[in-house]
Amino acid sequence: MEKTFLMVKPDGVQRGLIGEIVNRFESKGYQLVGGKLMTISQELAEQHYGEHKERPFFGELVDFITSGPVFAMVWEGENVISTARLMMGATNPKESAPGTIRGDFAVTVAKNIIHGSDSPESAEREIGLFFKEEELSSYEKAVNSWIN
Ligand code: RTP
Ligand code: MG
């Protein structure tokens, strides 16, 4: 079953939105298979956002993501990578639709509440950066047969 890496960014943690965000993915029908509150090191931040190294906002992005605890998660389910991105909304909250996480809770692109892997390759890479194999739990839920 497909897995993705999602993370409540420091602004979402400070604003008390962990529960709200977990609730959205649980209610949708996805399954939480890993989660932890952690503070990201400079090195991990630079690896995680490596694709943006040459962008003008890179320094600001690394400073922000390391500025306080994040809630890192792995979620599992059918098509979870792209559907989670739809549920998050557009990167810039000025364009993210109401009903999406960024559309409902964020105002500026720099503080946009949540990160989500953008492809199967990113998901695999990011899960590996943030979680050890033994930190993920695979388990059956009886309710799954009513979803898939
Ligand atoms: P993320 O990686 O955080 O899930 O966001 P994303 O895929 O929707 O957007 P991406 O292009 O990967 O950008 C990563 C994060 O960089 C910040 N950003 N700031 N100041 C700016 O113009 C700017 N542009 C992007 C955002 O916080 C974005 O989530
Ligand atoms: Mg991205």
Q: What is the ipTM of this complex?
A: 0.93
Q: Is there a catalytic annotation at residue 115?
A: yes
The span from the CA of 19 to the CA of 32, in Å, is 13
Annotated catalytic residue, options 3, 25, 113, 115: 115
Is 23 marked as binding a ligand? no
pLDDT at 100: 98
DSSP category for residue 97: P
Exposure of 17 in the CB half-sphere (CA atoms within 13 A): 21
pLDDT tens track for 48-106: 999 999 999 999 999 999 999 999 999 999 999 999 999 999 999 999 999 999 999 99
pLDDT at 144: 75
Whether the pLDDT of residue 134 is over 90: the answer is: yes
Q: Are 13 and 71 in contact (CB under 8 A)?
A: yes
The residue to mutate among 21, 54, 109, 126, having the most atoms of ligand 1 within 8 angstroms of its beta carbon, is 109
Residue type, position 26, single letter: E
- Tell whether the torsion through CA atoms of 8, 55, 98 and 87 is positive or negative: negative
The span from the CA of 38 to the CA of 28, in Å, is 25
122 Cα: distance to centroid of ligand 2 (angstroms): 9
pLDDT at 143: 74
The model's confidence at residue 147, banded by pLDDT at 50, 70 and 90, is: confident
- Regarding the beta carbon of 3 and ligand 1, being less than 6 Å apart is answered no
- Regarding the beta carbon of 10 and ligand 1, being less than 6 Å apart is answered no
Does pTM surpass 0.90?
Answer: yes
Strand partners, 32: 75
